[in-house]
Amino acid sequence: MNTEPSSSNPHLATFGAGCFWCVEAAFLNQKGVHSAISGYMGGHIDDPTYEQVCGGQTNHAEVVQVTFNPEEISFKILLDLFWGVHNPTTLNQQGADRGTQYRSAIFYHSEEQKSIAEESKIQLDTAGHFGQPIVTEITPASTFYPAEDYHQDYYSRNKNAPYCQIVIQPKLKKLGIE
């Protein structure tokens, strides 16, 4: 069954690539992206809190759920941004952030997304693009739980915070976004 919305409605893509603040900032200003919402997916309890997820109690990943118009931006282009915003070769870790909540993950919303994601991963691995094997999991999307309000649009509201200046800004500059 295809759970992807029809072309008259925006489509969803959900990515886990470490801290959701970084990922959200990368996707928010892309043409064709209507929203990028930080949240949690892939765990075993309902309505997890940030503290539970960070405490490793739920097995949720920090994710960003992107709503996009496929006539303006393709899932493949979103994948390219996903691969560029993090290191998909480190298991359960991005930089200093460690734990299963920081795992590299693509939660697909349709068989087409699954196929595109698997092919993209194979191509990058075969080309040795990252110098190490990609450990990104590709799994079906499950219930998405939006993160608490203070996590939403974090970067644009906190650009002068040390984490934003030291971690997020360099990633965005590398991607040519900032």
- Residue 19 falls in the annotated catalytic set: yes
Give the span between the Cα atoms of 32 and 34, in whole angstroms. Answer: 6
**CB 36 within 8 Å of CB 66:** yes
47: left (phi > 0), else alpha (psi -120 to 50), else beta? left
Active site residue: 19, 22, 54, 164, which one?
Answer: 19
**CB 101 within 8 Å of CB 6:** no
Q: Rg for the chain (alpha carbons), in Å?
A: 15
Burial 66-86 (b: 16+ CB within 10 A, else e): bbbebeebebebbbebbbebb
For the annotated catalytic residues, the residue numbers are 19
